[in-house]
Structure 1
Amino acid sequence: MMKSESILLPRKYKSREPSFGKAISFICLLWSLFQLWLASDFPFYLSEITKLNLVFNSQEARQIHLAFGLGLGLLAYPAINKINPILDKFSQFFLAALAVSACIYLYIYKLDISNRAGLPTSIDVFFSITGMICIGIAVYRSLGLPLLIVASLFIFYVMFGHLDFFPESMKWKGASLNKASWHFWMQTEGVFGVALGVSTSMIFLFVLFGALLEKSGAGNYFIKLSFATLGHLRGGPAKAAVVASGLSGIYSGSSIANVVTTGTFTIPLMKKTGFSSEKAGAIEVASSTNGQLTPPVMGAAAFLISEFTDVSYFDLIKYAALPALASYVALFYIVHLEVIKLGLKGLKRNTPARSFLNKFTSFIFGFTALGSIGFIINFLFSWTNNFSSTFTFLLAISLFLILYLFCIWIASKKPDLEIGLTDKELNNLPSVKSVAATGYHYLLPIVVLLWCVLISRLSPSLSAYWASLSIIFVLLTQNPLKTFFRYKKLTFDPFKQGALDLIEGLQKGARSMITISIATGIAGVIIGTVSLTGAHQFIGEFVETVSSGSLVLMLVLVAFMSLILGMGLPTTANYIVVSSLMAPVIVMVGAQNGLIVPLVAVHLFVFYFGILADDTPPVGLAAFAAAAISKGDPIKTGIQGFSYDIRTAILPFMFIFNTDILLFNIGFISGLLTIITVVLAMLAFCSAIQNHMIVKNKIYETILLVVISFSLFRPDFWLDKIQEPFHKIQGNQIFELIKDNNNILNLNKNNTVRVEFVGPDFDNPDKLVSQNSIIIFDKNEPVNKRIEKAGLFLNVNDNDIIMDEPFPGTALFQEMKTFDFYADKPVILKTIYINKNDRLPKEIFFIPSILVFILIYLNQHRRRNKHNRTQNEKK
């Protein structure tokens, strides 16, 4: 949590002016340089030259990363209750030293620790307990009480889960102090687990990139460009806030940071044009919250989702893109409807209006030109890479320098942008062309990042590294080059200013990472508890019991619990907590009830609802931040913001049942059709909840709009009512199905079948549970190979097909952990479901839905014209 944010948060979340200001700034600088060093190839080259070990493995990097984060956290966030200035400073320094020692101890004695794995000495236990206490204090000071309470409850459960205090279904054998301390601190199952590893290797570099981009002036550029483009429209400042927050979401790791940076300009302007304090704050809250859903950073949680679901970062960006786009289009539309209802106007702009045809032609020309340039560059890179990767690298640098110099030359022809909107600009908005020309060079580092991720398919950390180097180059050179191109005398001042901006950007990036590193560290405690105790099992049973087997009710309950768990937590900790507890619940309970969805869809579901907690009263931190700027009521702001975010809340439910919304395994044409229909569905839903399209809705129009939205989101729902989706076959016929290639299996073009297993529950062998799984058969393999590759270990017993326990590493090993294979009753393959490929295309239901949508639009258009004619006649 940055200092700039703290003044806008509730008192218990505020950080005070640190006592060790200069020391903190210097350590932050070292931390950023260390992370850049870690991501580069220099340690390897220098190790070869000097014959010294300058390369850190993953575990060592995590230990040093957390040492920086904890040390800075305990120095930068002093105790909330002051006692004595000297004593306070001493306690800060003492705690920071202890925390760093606990981390560095693991690095220094790594060989000794590995040799006594699982058998901690008294010194090991001392440093483990010290580290856990220090991280608990750091969490309380920097992130507040909620996360500390959650983590403490998990630790208590690990230590005392055997007590009669817990219900029978929750009990477990408990862990000794030695076992718990080793599990949480001395190995990679706790604090130094996957979450901290992702923070070390990927999140830091992306947050650093965002901080450097902001320091270069890109943040102010995006805000001004948004206002220049949209400010003249009705309610222009509100629409500009939506776009500016969306652009900030590309590099920002915090919804609160989004509110603070963009809201400082947008909220007062929204109030000036006629919005109430609460609505102005709510629009900014909804915009900033949705910024965390926007790829490629997604509030720094994208990398965690990729790691936990074993989905490539490139694929994750593709899956998350359409929901984020639909959500922002819908928010823009909601703002437009609010503007219409309030009868607001936009800011003045004296530049002549361009016709729609002119705008459309310019857009098509620009899109085509950029696409052609990208295609040519990609072709050049592919061609040169066949000869020499070094030559490709030099070509990439040369192209970057040429484009950068050209963009800087264009920017030098215009005066530099002032921070914020001046009175002159408010009275007469600048033209889009003049504002855009000042900052084309800010787009190049973003292009580098996206090119490396999407085109070159480099790893996220390497992509962020090259993007960070490019923005560092911009920071150091933009002022001197502008001075040179403006034919002014080149002095040392522009170089000095660039160096100072770079240092401040490096420091700001590290400061922003303090809370993230602490959050991912303490979140490892939660993940470690779940892996050690299987805590998600009884939560799943609780959800299953309360939902009474209803899939929709189960998802609603999980969504509600995700909102509760996410209150008061930063994005990364928020996601880790809710995904560790709630994602396994959806997978487990859903599979038992026939719902099989990709794991990435499940994690995105809980991620969305965890993020929405940022504007959910009574602990919606983003709402508090916005209310501090708007001078409105924070609770009312949060309620209004959440009402705007209802359109976002329906998306996870839709893509759980219809993974096409995530563009999951669909072709180009189908993907294009999905994009169009999802956007239309969101617009229809927004018109329904706002009770307005062109004019106020009739009751029947609102009902029809809800049905249209649902039909466009889930056309398969209506198709399943007309035609059965599966051929249902008894499990004992599975061998007959796979023996002959000319059988019903050929009706399924993907060679996949859904199978239902029934058997004793692992935790309660007397209880029979069912689970559905997807099996893939390779038709080109012999029968035995098909069964083996599918992960099936089958035996025939009378008329039943018995499933033996899968071996570790086989296809069904993880999924089948629900069953007890050594109970009295066996696990049986009960039913086989094969998709019907001769059904009607589900897209057929798009036709009546879109036709009715058009009819409602035309009907409201007629009513508005009639109303206008009546008003004119009265005049």
Structure 2
Amino acid sequence: MSYSEVDTQNKGLELARKMAEEEEGIARRPRGAEKWVIPTIAVGWSLFQLSIASWLILDSTYIRSIHLGFALLIVFLNYPVLSKKRFGLKFLSATHRIPLSDYATAIVACLCALYIVLDFKGITMRYGAPIPRDIAVGILLTLMLLEAARRVIGPALPVIAVCFCIYAFFGPYMPDLIAFKGTSLNRFVGQMTMSTEGIYGIPLDVSATIVFLFVLFGAMLDKAGAGHYFIQLALSLLGGFKGGPAKAAILGSGLTGMVSGSSIANIVTTGTFTIPMMKKVGYPPTKAAAVEVAASTDGQLAPPIMGAAAFIIAEYVNVPYVEVIKAAAIPAFASYAALFYITHIEASKLGLKGMSRKELPVFFKTFLGGLHFMLPIGLLLYELVVVRHSPELAAFHAIWVMTLIMLFQEPVKAYMAKEPVVPAIHRAVNNIFSAMASGARNMVSVALATAAAGIIVGVVALGLGGLITEIIDVISMGNIYIMLAITAIASLIIGMGLPTTATYIVMASLTAPAIVTIAGYQEWFVPLMSAHLFCFYFGILADDTPPVGLAAYAAAAIAKSPPIATGLQGFMYDIRTAILPFMFIFNSDLILHEIYSWPQGLLIFFMACMGNFAFASATQGWFVAKNKIWEVPLFLSVTVCAMRPDAIASLVGLPHEQRYYIYPVALAIFGIIYLIQKPRMPKKPAMASVLE
């Protein structure tokens, strides 16, 4: 590789890391003593969250208020008013110092968030009849929150929230179809800032009590080196197979995504290693980046953590979190299985080989070298799934185990390498506090997304819920299929400018009840869990949807590929994920609704994989050989039979209880396609691996 190529590669990695830092919440880098201000507040926030999870008992409203106060304090100290210098006012975009104006704004915003705590008794006594001071502070808090969200997330969510606020006041003057009785200023402020139905609602509560601990746990794993361990482990297992680095990228990204919750951070952690390796074995840069995008984006679908939105689903649907894990398991793992299948197809089309064994890490040495990372993850899974502890308690226990591992990891390494132990202890302590600061920074966008989305939820709760269902019913003409298409497209469009969590909250508040209701009009039962997971899936898919998908830009920067082309290719890979929500809306077996038998669940999972494989072959143009155009309907028929056996059974007159008799039909058609294509298989297929 020439010097210019190395320089270009380094610039791409630096750009991707910068994007990851921006998502993590590193916008300013003050110098001198000021550089400790933001990390100190961030560590204080982490210690507060750990306290309420262990020994500190506070009212839930206090917890939400303090959580938001910390987030606003960090935002206004960390993010300048403008990202670029404009109007000749340099202090508006200062990145190496914190202007006095931002100190003042941060303190005022924090006090506004804490107002409900500072005058809790008074506010409780006069709820429904706010005094002028309540109104003034409520309006100021709403404006401060929207400005903070603009600085961190961008203008999309504040603009949507402002539109809902305007609608709340001007509803009576709207056209008849969307006319709304409106609200008074007193009621609006009371709903938004003096109750738990607006800003301090369920989304912020989940952010404050559960999500923070999981994000902190992920930050500690990352700081300890677990991300690098996962990708090395994946390479040692899969790197030697056909297109091995792509398969390793999927496994590594899936493991990292379980605890990361951020597609961009996932790409920077795993893609830095896997994308150059994919290019080395023959993947074009665009496809190498697209594989990493698809794998990292779908990491948020993988149980047991699934990002912040999954915890909010549990609260909205009012079920234990383990039920969300159960419902998400088959679609998530079937999606990942299909992505493995797609990379195999791509490798077959391109005639690629695997990496030589001497280039790959040794499995057992790699596995044992990071086995300690499995201990806190195993404990987390045990407490969530087996003991059925609350998510916050499970995360807290995993965190203190992870803290002990971080505390002893560096000294043990130093001792084994016969290096001084005292500096290693110092590094270990620094890593722990650095992880606490990083976890808090990561939480800023989640906290603000949930709080700002709470404004939208609050407006809907003012009485818009039934009206929205009627409006959607009219727009979709009462057709559930059109309704789902509108929801999917809206989620993709809104998700281009919003984090996954905010997209889910907005769409679930507006459409999830409507999906269930409109399906009921057509005598079609849709579980509420299915409707919420539908919104969740398309919110995640927005991360790689052109032209804004930031995940595609990060991967393209590493691969040096065109971002739009990378996003389009990534979206083509993710189409196999996009069909799953449409399937489980109508076939609740896929989310294991009222399925309690392991053999039955495994059968459904196997056939969901077969259906997704067939769909991937149809969209990628290849099975064991290049597809003929007339073979595509056959692949699609396999998909329908495997994922909607209930519909086919109904068409042929079988009772619902005998729907699984359709599964052999799907397998038979798949087998027939194989026999048809077998004579067209390449005469010299690429070797599965290269042994040297």
TM-score, normalising length from structure 2? 0.91
CA offsets, 1:737-761, max 9 Å, x none?
A: xxxxxxxxxxxxxxxxxxxxxxxxx
Q: Where does residue 537 of structure 2 map in the other structure?
A: 608
Indicate if the aligned counterparts of 2:15 and 2:554 stay in contact, CA closer than 8 A. Answer: no
Structure 2 matches for 1:153-172, cutoff 5 A? 153-163=163-173, 166-172=174-180
Q: Where does residue 75 of structure 1 map in the other structure?
A: 77
Offset at residue 8 of structure 1 (A): 3.0
Aligned partner letter, 1:679 = C
Greater length-normalized contact order (CA 8 Å, ≥ 6 residues apart): 2
Matched, 1:443 2:374: yes
Aligned partner letter, 2:100 = F
Q: Where does residue 593 of structure 2 map in the other structure?
A: 664
Distance 1:565 1:641, change over 3 A: same
CA offsets, 1:701-742, max 9 Å, x none?
A: 3221110111011111122123386xxxxxxxxxxxxxxxxx
Distance 1:24 1:241, change over 3 A: same
Indicate if the aligned counterparts of 2:46 and 2:440 stay in contact, CA closer than 8 A. Answer: yes
SS of 1:841's equivalent in the other structure is helix
Q: Where does residue 267 of structure 1 map in the other structure?
A: 275
When Rg is computed on C-alpha atoms for both structures, the one with the higher figure is 1
Matched, 1:36 2:50: yes
Indicate if the aligned counterparts of 2:203 and 2:450 stay in contact, CA closer than 8 A. Answer: yes
Matched, 1:699 2:643: no
Structure 2 CA distance for aligned equivalents of residues 105 and 12 of structure 1? 29
Structure 1 CA distance for aligned equivalents of residues 567 and 286 of structure 2? 8
Equivalent of residue 687 in structure 1, options 599, 611, 617: 617
Equivalent of residue 105 in structure 1, options 115, 120, 135: 115
Distance 1:620 1:537, change over 3 A: farther
Q: Where does residue 181 of structure 1 map in the other structure?
A: 189
Matched, 1:717 2:647: yes
Indicate if the aligned counterparts of 1:286 and 1:644 stay in contact, CA closer than 8 A. Answer: yes
Matched, 1:674 2:621: no
Q: Where does residue 117 of structure 1 map in the other structure?
A: 127
Aligned partner letter, 2:283 = F
Distance 1:6 1:544, change over 3 A: farther
Structure 1 CA distance for aligned equivalents of residues 619 and 511 of structure 2? 28
Structure 2 matches for 1:447-466, cutoff 5 A? 447-466=378-397
Structure 2 unmatched ranges of 5 or more: 1-13, 686-692
Structure 2 CA distance for aligned equivalents of residues 70 and 268 of structure 1? 39
Q: Where does residue 451 of structure 2 map in the other structure?
A: 521
Distance 1:86 1:625, change over 3 A: closer
Aligned partner letter, 1:202 = I
Matched, 1:857 2:670: no
Offset at residue 539 of structure 1 (A): 3.9
Structure 2 matches for 1:797-812, cutoff 5 A? none
Distance 1:717 1:444, change over 3 A: same
TM-score, normalising length from structure 1? 0.73
CA offsets, 1:607-644, max 9 Å, x none?
A: 11111111111221211222222222222211111111
CA offsets, 1:745-801, max 9 Å, x none?
A: xxxxxxxxxxxxxxxxxxxxxxxxxxxxxxxxxxxxxxxxxxxxxxxxxxxxxxxxx
Structure 2 CA distance for aligned equivalents of residues 477 and 866 of structure 1? 55
Distance 1:618 1:9, change over 3 A: farther
Equivalent of residue 16 in structure 1, options 18, 24, 27: 27
Indicate if the aligned counterparts of 2:292 and 2:555 stay in contact, CA closer than 8 A. Answer: yes
SS of 1:295's equivalent in the other structure is coil
Q: Where does residue 203 of structure 2 map in the other structure?
A: 195
Alignment root-mean-square deviation, CA: 2.2
Structure 2 matches for 1:135-534, cutoff 5 A? 135-163=145-173, 166-350=174-358, 428-484=359-415, 486=416, 488=418, 491-534=421-464
Offset at residue 86 of structure 1 (A): 5.6
Distance 1:623 1:487, change over 3 A: closer
Structure 1 CA distance for aligned equivalents of residues 23 and 362 of structure 2? 44
Structure 2 CA distance for aligned equivalents of residues 346 and 516 of structure 1? 39
Offset at residue 99 of structure 1 (A): 0.6
SS of 1:249's equivalent in the other structure is helix
Offset at residue 483 of structure 1 (A): 4.2
Distance 1:294 1:686, change over 3 A: same
Structure 2 CA distance for aligned equivalents of residues 494 and 292 of structure 1? 34
CA offsets, 1:369-399, max 9 Å, x none?
A: xxxxxxxxxxxxxxxxxxxxxxxxxxxxxxx
Task: State the aligned residue count.
Answer: 660
Structure 1 CA distance for aligned equivalents of residues 325 and 67 of structure 2? 26
Distance 1:5 1:700, change over 3 A: closer
Structure 1 CA distance for aligned equivalents of residues 494 and 106 of structure 2? 29
Q: Where does residue 41 of structure 2 map in the other structure?
A: 27
Distance 1:719 1:86, change over 3 A: closer
Structure 2 CA distance for aligned equivalents of residues 60 and 470 of structure 1? 28
Offset at residue 843 of structure 1 (A): 1.1
Indicate if the aligned counterparts of 1:13 and 1:144 stay in contact, CA closer than 8 A. Answer: no
Offset at residue 177 of structure 1 (A): 2.1
Aligned partner letter, 1:849 = A
Offset at residue 476 of structure 1 (A): 0.4
Distance 1:437 1:701, change over 3 A: same
Distance 1:243 1:12, change over 3 A: closer
Offset at residue 278 of structure 1 (A): 2.0
Structure 2 CA distance for aligned equivalents of residues 283 and 690 of structure 1? 13
Distance 1:310 1:860, change over 3 A: same
Aligned partner letter, 1:120 = P
Equivalent of residue 130 in structure 1, options 140, 163, 170: 140
Equivalent of residue 545 in structure 1, options 474, 485, 503: 474
Aligned partner letter, 2:351 = G
Structure 2 matches for 1:753-764, cutoff 5 A? none
Q: Where does residue 845 of structure 1 map in the other structure?
A: 662
Offset at residue 431 of structure 1 (A): 1.5
SS of 1:847's equivalent in the other structure is helix
Structure 2 CA distance for aligned equivalents of residues 335 and 196 of structure 1? 39
Distance 1:187 1:6, change over 3 A: farther
Distance 1:259 1:491, change over 3 A: closer
CA offsets, 1:396-427, max 9 Å, x none?
A: xxxxxxxxxxxxxxxxxxxxxxxxxxxxxxxx
Offset at residue 15 of structure 1 (A): 6.2
Aligned partner letter, 1:24 = I
Structure 1 CA distance for aligned equivalents of residues 548 and 21 of structure 2? 9
Offset at residue 186 of structure 1 (A): 1.5
Offset at residue 676 of structure 1 (A): 1.2
Aligned partner letter, 1:513 = M
Aligned partner letter, 1:695 = A
Matched, 1:622 2:554: no
Q: Where does residue 690 of structure 2 map in the other structure?
A: none
Bigger mean CA deviation after superposition, 269-278 or 522-531: 269-278
SS of 1:8's equivalent in the other structure is helix
Structure 2 CA distance for aligned equivalents of residues 10 and 18 of structure 1? 11
Q: Where does residue 640 of structure 1 map in the other structure?
A: 569
Q: Percent identity?
A: 44
Structure 2 CA distance for aligned equivalents of residues 506 and 565 of structure 1? 31
